[in-house]
Chain A
Amino acid sequence: MRWILAPLLACCCLASVALARKTNGPIYEDPFDLGAGGASLTRASKEGVLFSNPALLPLGAAFFRWTGLTTTFLVNKEAVDTARSLVKSAQSSKSSSSGSDSKAQAADIVDKVFKNPIHLGWGLALSTVTSAFGLSAFSRFEPDIRAKQFGSTGLPEVELRTESYHGVAIGAAVRTPLRWLLFGATAKYLYAGEQDVAAQVTDSATIASFGQQKFAQNLVALNKGVGLDLGTLLFFQGQNVDLTAAGKVDDLGNTKLSGTSAQPKQFKQVASAGLGLTLHSTADALHFAVDYRDLSDVYKEALFKRLYVGTKVTLRTYLGFSGGYYNGYPSMGVEIDLLLLRLAFTSYTRELGDHPGVDPRHIYMASISAGF
């Protein structure tokens, strides 16, 4: 059988598919904010403030807001399902010595791998945030592997996409003489890499390139550049009701990136606006938010990818729940504050395709933050 499988399984053709990953969203997002549909222009958590809207820094009573390390892991539901199947197969193969059973299990694994994409990710952010300024060193990496029974040429295809963003962000904010008007800015020194490799069933002669050192180097290559975000906030505070309106410009004048990575070459300037409504007591709060990002549609994305809607409930500052719509799909999260330790769990769906339902990833995210 090898005479037919060698060329089939030897995924042989590299094709670069230039799809932008980071588009209208911040380059780093707090897990609790993602649970709230990613609607973070008018309210963001911890170091997320620096990336979502630096004008949010002065909101709140304390000077020191957050100093600590946040570690995040994420995996998509389909990968978890595949892993479960693999464990079951391994267990049943131990108890069965039948050759036909082994073949059926192996075929089942191939089925699962071809039907379920694998999306993993991890992130780190070491930050200190005050009511006047903030500093964060961050790193996030998300590889995505998808095998299709019928790829773009009708034969099986495996796609590997990576998103790799690292850097340092420094933000500051000022209150104007008008108490309700705030401005903020975040400067970013970024390393970024977005790789797309499609391995197709084609000419086996080309597969030799997979073993070359250059192939591995390309996968981890990064471009670097410096960018600037500007934010503003209109904040109208009442006894139990606050109204907020936010405006933000990401990557002012386009953030140019240079280096050995094929993508990204730049992050385009994106203007966004958000509205927020907060119902609160002295200790608890309910926040509704809607963000409309990329107002001038520079990334040519469908509306469902530019509209972020969410709700956050914080109870006594120890417990928070969030829910919303992210990329048009439901999202939810919970955060527990154990004084020096914060635990957060988030579920959201990210659409990697250009249209709804084309290529969604149902993502589970867990994060642990140590700090104060």
Chain B
Amino acid sequence: MNKRCLSTALLGLAWTVLACGGAKNVASCPGGKTSGICSQQTPDEQAQAKLNSGDYDGAISQLNDLITAEPETYSRLPILAAAYAARAGLDILTVAKSQFSAGGSLLDVFASFIPTPKTVGAAAYKIHVADMQSAVASLKRIPAALVATTSASDYASSATLQQTIYTAAYSVMFLNQFAVSADTGKLDPAQLATMTESDANAILTNFADTGQIPALGSNTAVQAQVAATLTKINAEPGATSKEKIAAFVAAQQATPAS
């Protein structure tokens, strides 16, 4: 090979390597250009990608826009619920990681994968609770027929399991905002001074809501734990819901976490 030919060869190879210079797809269309070779993800794919990359705000915003535009496409609601729950500090992967923890009561178990007033601060914790409430509310927007045991929708059973976990998590978080100290992160009956009887009734209603979700096999164990907790609270001494919850919290505080 003469020098000119060899030079051309090396230049050609260098061009290829330099042009490649990274793992970014040439068709990724930075800036949102859509012409020519570029091909864009669908809005649903974008939302899913945002969710999996941890951009929960972006996913929630995009999904809400899509749901507003097409309110009867209910399959987006479980994904929106997952995004709210993730922003609230709970996601299913965190739950999966918790398999390495020992067993325990409902409060012990959920304490391992939901934030506490100590970890995020009392003010931020209220926002997290609101997000978890939004997760539950999102799932409640799905018509009951579509999540019934007889439903043919591909998200029926998963939405039911989500609703069970998120409702239970919301119940615990709602209780914790009154019962857990933002300074120590521990249950503290003294904190309950700010809780009204109306709040106490709401806590019991939230726990009871978990039991109202249709049992599908996958969620019955969670429901059983919530039901056991509710039974314990109702069995505590006290004339009002607030007094029963205070007694329950005191008993939980006295019981070492397993």
Contacts and interface: CB of A to CB of B under 8 A. Distances in A.
B17 A281 contact: no
B199 interface: no
A208 to B, nearest CB: 11
Interface string B48-74: 110110000000000000000000000
A85 to B, nearest CB: 15
B109 interface: yes
A243 to B, nearest CB: 15
Contacts of A155: 78, 82, 92, 158, 161-162
Q: Is the interface of A mostly helix, strand, loop or mixed?
A: mixed
B78 A279 contact: no
Contacts of A351: 25
Contacts of A328: 25-28, 37
A3 B224 contact: yes
B217 A203 contact: yes
A355 to B, nearest CB: 5
A303 B27 CA distance: 9
Contacts of A327: 25
A1 B98 contact: yes
Contacts of A311: 12-13, 15-16
Contacts of B26: 304, 325, 328-329
B45 A149 contact: no
Indicate the size class of the contact surface on chain A: 35 or more
A330 B39 contact: no
A4 B95 contact: yes
A349 B22 CA distance: 11
Given A204-B217, A330-B20, A355-B45, A1 B104 contact: yes
B93 A156 contact: yes
A145 B225 CA distance: 34
Interface string B220-239: 01101100000000000000
A95 B41 CA distance: 46
Interface in A201-259: 201-206, 240
B172 to A, nearest CB: 12
B254 interface: no
15 contacts: A1-B98, A4-B109, A10-B218, A106-B97, A153-B79, A153-B154, A155-B161, A202-B157, A203-B218, A280-B5, A286-B13, A311-B12, A313-B9, A355-B45, A362-B23
Interface of B: 1-2, 5-6, 8-10, 12-13, 15-17, 19-23, 25-29, 36-42, 45, 48-49, 51-52, 75, 78-83, 86, 91-93, 95-104, 109, 112, 154-155, 157-159, 161-162, 165, 216-219, 221-222, 224-225
Given A148-B52, A303-B39, A356-B28, 10 more contacts: A2-B99, A152-B48, A153-B79, A153-B154, A153-B155, A155-B162, A205-B217, A302-B39, A328-B25, A356-B39
The 4 lowest CB-CB distance pairs between A and B, nearest first, are A330-B20, A154-B82, A323-B16, A7-B218
